[in-house]
Amino acid sequence: MSRSIENMSPFEMARWFSLIESIDLISNECELRGVDFNKVKISPLDIEKYVEGTCDAFTKKIEQERASEKAAAAAVVLFSFHNEHTEQAIDVVHTGA
């Protein structure tokens, strides 16, 4: 079953972002220390703890971003509606129609 980001709940997205970030952090630390990432023993429990510890913060951020996107989309619709009707009002003034 294929899922897209648009169809994920904020919580589900946050879990994935937390997991990805945990792996990125380990990878960056390996680079800093000159250690081969493929030779590092990664503890699934440590990854799970990281995901659990960061998931709420990611969820809140995603919900804020989605609210901002909805507000921005509503503002665009309102602005377009306003401009459309302003142009019609100007046409009426200029043509007398």
pLDDT tens column, 25-46: 999 999 999 999 999 999 999 9
Is 40 a domain residue? yes
| pLDDT for 71 beyond 70 | yes
Look at the chain and report how many structural domains it folds into: 1
Is residue 3 assigned to a domain?
no
Distance separating alpha carbons of residues 16 and 6, to the nearest angstrom: 13
Q: What is the DSSP string of 33-92?
A: HT--GGGS---HHHHHHHHHHHHHHHHHHHHHHHHHHHHHHHHHHHHHHHHHHHHHHHHH
Of the two residues 49 and 96, the one the predictor is more confident about is 49
**Residue 29 sits in which domain range?**
8-95
Q: Is residue 1 part of a domain?
A: no
Q: Report residue 13 as tokens.
A: 């997205």
* Count of all residues that appear for the chain in the document: 97
Query: Is residue 2 situated within a structural domain?
Result: no
Query: Is residue 65 one of the residues assigned to a domain?
Result: yes
CB 58: neighbour CB atoms within 10 A?
19
Model pTM score: 0.67
